Structure 1
Amino acid sequence: MKVAIVHDELVRRGGAEQVVLDMHNAYPEADIYTLCYNPDKTYEEFKTAKIFTSWFQYIGKSEKLIKLLYFPFAILAMRSFNLKGYDIVLISTTHCGKFVRADKNASVVTYCHTPFRLAWRPFSYSIVKSSNLLIRNIFLFASRILRKLDLMAAKASDFYLTNSKEVKARIEKSYHPEKPVSIINPAAKLDNFYISMEDKDYYLVVSRLEDYKMVDLVVKSFNEMPDKKLIIVGTGSKEQELMALAGSNISFRKGQSAAQLARLYANCKALIFPQHEDYGITPLEAAASGRPVIAYGVGGVRETMVPYMGDSSKCTAVFFEEQSTSSLIAAIEKSEKLEFDPIFIRSHAKLFSAPNFIAKLTGFVNKVYKQKMATKLNSMVTETIETSGAKYQLELANTYAGKKVA
């Protein structure tokens, strides 16, 4: 079975890129095709993979340039890939990965992290919501074009996989796939994390510093609690704004090594997770460190976390109901009165291990491949039988006519 792996772009360290790493570990001989690749910006493990980039590699090595030049250049660049000779094309995508051209004999299995937001949910972008009428209409016009193109490309997938129930419903609503969408929860790198017995004196945020991540909510909340320490790990377009907003009890870190990040997780009081995410890897990383999560209780955390329901020894998270400072502060204060069990929390995280993800993924792909081979074999047998039957009928007819069949 010859497998190709496709991903939108490899220019960051994020949850989608971790999924691709697990795909690579599942199929280490598979070729990886991507729009562009920056080895210094994404996970180091990709350096051992066989990666093919498009001509977009020369113009778009950063997230900002990819967004700026996405339409039409990123789409055209992805269309330039013509993947021939593969039995399985395994696509990881939110936007342009699905535009590759696969061999007509290949089975296309798409792991969709979410349908392209600009095409299907343009008002989830703050620039669309807050812009004047002219700018908003330009975005909405572009959104309509992208939606049509995205839907056309989505029809080329034979099977859909995704990360959560929420995204499954979104895929069904957007793409109307013929076959059921299957959920395979992404894995956290559990082996990178450990339980620490050191004293905990700070809370932690690990996030990209963008509007939708709601880190400003955490900063404002801790500004009202100057006696509590907060460490924020991450970079993004809101970095300077957040640093200017933060009080003296809040510090920022970036460029953390895996070991440094693991230590920060292991020794925090809790991870603060204020955003609505489709899935979310960082709560599982905290859980792998035996640390609880204080999370906005919607989206993916409802599938990965065990909320506090009266027994703190059998939970992994405290949920808050509103994205407001009062709701978050109340959840933090509640968590400080509880006794969490680090062993239980880490044991729960093991349900979302890389081996579990790989086993489910390869099981699904193997089933697809076997079904395809069975269909191909049945077709060959049917064709042989039909050919043999036609030849036998011809022999009978010629014999009846008194002719010798050669």
Structure 2
Amino acid sequence: MKIAIVHEWLVTWAGSERVLAEIMTLYPEADLYVLFDRLPSDKRSALPRNPVGESFLGKWPKIDRLYRNLLPLMPAAVESLNLKDYDLVLTSSHAVVKGLLLHSGQLHLCYCHTPPRYLWDMTEAYFSRSFSGRLKRAAASLFLTRLRQWDYRAGQRPDAFIANSEFCRQKNFPDLWPSLYRHPSTGRY
């Protein structure tokens, strides 16, 4: 069985990266893919091995400083990853990698650290400083609506989800994955 592990990005060494390292230890034969890799060299040794593939965002200069501003490109970046040769794809997601496009016959298991908070329940906290002024707020509203719609559809793609804690499961996965989202049209949970 050929296995791929996909993680959002490697920029810092924090909680989700520690979990990623543990997942990689459990599957030593798996290949690692990321949207982009800018992990500092002093943190590199904490990962069991380096990524074998990146999305087109990996070619962007200064992506480690710009990636939050490139949020509207994230769905296209994750959908651009070609994982057709793998039987099992494990995603480590707190943002977009759950939205991979896979083929029938491939199994997709998503370890969900949290749904993207900046899209659903903490939007104001994440974007209040970035989007001051009417024009910026209108543009943000448009792209956030589209990202919510994409994220809702992307949440249907994995075959199964694993929540990172009982708290996360109870808060976000009471029945099925889609129930944690507000519906893109109505805005209701």
- After TM superposition, is the score higher than 0.5? yes
Secondary structure of 1:24's aligned partner:
helix
Matches of 1:165 and 1:144, distance apart in 2: 29
Contact 1:120 1:143 in 2 (8 A): no
Q: Describe the shift of the 1:71–1:103 C-alpha distance in structure 2 as closer, same or farther (beyond 3 A).
A: same
Partner SS for 1:68: helix
Tell me, in whole angstroms, the C-alpha distance in 1 between the residues paired with 2:8 and 2:95.
Answer: 7
Partner of 2:6: 6
Alignment partner of 1:32: what SS?
A: strand
For the 8 Å contact 1:11–1:63, the answer to whether it is kept is yes
Letter in 2 for 1:21: A
**Aligned twin of 2:88:** 88
Per the alignment, do residues 169 and 123 of structure 1 end up closer, same or farther by CA in structure 2, a change over 3 Å counting? farther
Gaps spanning 5+ residues in structure 2: where? 179-189
SS of corresponding position for 2:111:
strand
| Paired residues of 1:39 and 1:47 also in contact (CA < 8 A) | no
Cα distance in 2, alignment partners of residues 56 and 100 from structure 1: 15
Shift of 1:102: 2.1
The answer as to whether partners of 1:111 and 1:161 remain within 8 angstroms in 2 is yes
Question: Partner amino acid for 1:65?
Answer: L
Q: Pick the structure with greater CA Rg.
A: 1
Select the structure with the greater relative contact order (CA < 8 A; seq sep ≥ 6): 2
- 2:158 aligned residue: 157
1:138 lines up with 2:139 in the alignment: yes
> Quick one: which amino acid aligns to residue 156 of structure 1?
R
CA contact (8 A) 2:110 2:158 kept: yes
**Which residue pairs with 1:56 in the alignment?**
57
Which structure shows the bigger proportion of residues in helix conformation? Answer: 1
Query: How far has the Cα of 1:89 moved from its partner?
Result: 0.8
CA contact (8 A) 2:13 2:39 kept: no
Query: Counterparts of 1:159-174 in structure 2 under 5 Å?
Result: 159-172=160-173
* Offset of residue 79 of structure 1: 0.9
Give a deviation string over 1:235-286, Cα, whole Å, max 9, x none: xxxxxxxxxxxxxxxxxxxxxxxxxxxxxxxxxxxxxxxxxxxxxxxxxxxx
Counterpart code for 1:141? L
- Tell me the equivalent position of 1:117: 117
Partner of 1:46: 47
Query: Does the alignment pair 1:26 with 2:26?
Result: yes
Q: Which TM-score applies when normalising by structure 1?
A: 0.39
Q: Which amino acid aligns with 1:48?
A: R
For residues 166 and 128 of structure 1, the distance between their equivalents in structure 2, rounded to whole angstroms, comes to 29
Partner of 2:67: 66
Name the CA shift for 1:78/1:71 in 2 (closer, same or farther; >3 Å): same
Point out the more displaced range, 139-148 or 127-136. 127-136
Separation (CA, whole Å) in 1 of partners of 2:99 and 2:64 = 19
| Residue correspondence of structure 1 range 235-246 to structure 2 within 5 A | none
C-alpha change, 1:149 and 1:34, in structure 2 (3 Å) is: same
Task: Identify the residue that residue 184 of structure 2 maps to in structure 1.
Answer: none
**1-structure distance, mates of 2:171, 2:140:** 21
CA-based RMSD of the aligned residues comes to 2.6
Read off the aligned partner of 2:80 and give its amino acid letter: S
Decide whether aligned partners of structure 1 residues 60 and 91 sit closer, same or farther in structure 2, where only a CA change above 3 A counts. Answer: farther
Q: Tell me how far 1:18 sits from its aligned partner.
A: 0.7
